[in-house]
Amino acid sequence: MIDRTIFPAPTRGLDLKQTLGLPQSMVVRSGDLLFLSGVLAVHPGTGERMHGTLTSETHQCLQNLSMILGRAGSSLEKVVRVHAMMYSRIEYDVFNSVYRQYFTPAQAPARTVWSVGILYGLKVQLDVIATV
Amino acid sequence: MTQRTAFASPIAALNAAHPGQVPRSPAMRAGNLLYLSSMTSIDPQTGEFRPGSVTEQTRTALTNIAAQLQSAGTEPAHAAKVTVHLASILDYEEMNVVYGDFFTGDSLPARTVCAVQMAGGIKVSIECVAVVPSA
């Protein structure tokens, strides 16, 4: 028996397999853990890439993340670990100023921040594990 | 209590007993989840890095991952999460063609792709978490 299920994206725009042709499931669950594909700043309705400032992209990512988790029976409060990827470490403080609006310090998930190259020239990507 | 079990690599040179090997387990199981160390284009016969195009490196890495998963009691179809590190984000499309041939169907693993600095001519490095079926 295999304890593994796929959760669909909550909206058409967040289904990156459909909109961008990425060969991946948005959410895979095993046991109490949800493994998410990298969350990007795309429009949840249309899938349009929402290139913007690090601030606007981070807001969009976290709002998308919240919707994706909700569809899978989870929420931001149940996030276990975030790999926060951004295009430049220089914007670390900017990222935090947005991030702290979504996670209260005492309950914030484990987090690592990386400066990396991200698909489509986007500035932020969130790689998340959450509980159900 | 959750069991934690290390698995050897089917590639002999990647195992701890081999001289020069770094302190890591090729795969570690905790509960029903199997975590793989990142895999690159390693020649399964010699254990040497096999240089090549993004296509070749991706194919070799994924083939090695399949062998590792199988030797630890699971298979690529049970992968839950794959993280692909590229030396350049511009190599995404080339990697993706090979990736899309390897993982097929409606039950694809979640995936994250990003570009980071890598040493020694490595163009692709792939990490995987997979579910192990229970009896």
Check residue A76 and give its pLDDT: 97
- Residue B17 pLDDT > 90: no
- Residue A100 pLDDT > 80: yes
Cα–Cα distance for residue pair B13/B21, rounded to 1 Å: 8
In this prediction the pTM is 0.96
Cα–Cα distance for residue pair B33/B10, rounded to 1 Å: 19
Establish if A106 touches chain B: CB-CB under 8 angstroms.
no
Check residue B2 and give its pLDDT: 75
Calculate the CA dihedral of residues A67, A73, A77, A83 and round it to 10 degrees: -70
User: What confidence tens digit (pLDDT) does each residue in B57-96 have?
Assistant: 999 999 999 999 999 999 999 999 999 999 999 999 999 9
Q: Long-range contacts made by residues A62-67, C-beta under 8 angstroms, separation at least 24?
A: A62/A98, A62/A99, A62/A102, A62/A126, A64/A14, A64/A39, A64/A40, A65/A36, A65/A39, A65/A126, A65/A128, A66/A102, A67/A10, A67/A11, A67/A14
Give chain B positions within 8 Å (CB) of A118.
89, 114-115
The pLDDT confidence band at residue B3, using thresholds 50, 70 and 90, is confident
Burial category of B108 from C-beta neighbours within 10 Å (exposed 0-12, middle 13-18, buried 19 and up): buried
The pLDDT confidence band at residue A17, using thresholds 50, 70 and 90, is very high
Give chain A positions within 8 Å (CB) of B99.
23
Nearest to B115 among A27, A83, A117 (CB): A117
Establish if A119 touches chain B: CB-CB under 8 angstroms.
yes
- Residue A9 pLDDT > 80: yes
The pLDDT confidence band at residue B20, using thresholds 50, 70 and 90, is confident
Establish if A88 touches chain B: CB-CB under 8 angstroms.
no
What integer is the mean pLDDT of A54-73?
98
A-interface mutation test, from B131, B132, B134, most A Cβ less than 10 A away: B131
**What chain B residue is nearest to A23 in terms of C-alpha separation?**
B100
The pLDDT confidence band at residue B135, using thresholds 50, 70 and 90, is confident
- Token duo for residue A62: 């976290």
Contact by Cβ (8 Å): B116, B91: no
The alpha carbon of residue B114 and the mean position of all alpha carbons in its chain are separated, in whole angstroms, by 15
Cα–Cα distance for residue pair B125/A66, rounded to 1 Å: 29
Contact by Cβ (8 Å): A89, B91: no
Average pLDDT, chain A: 97
Give A73's DSSP letter.
T
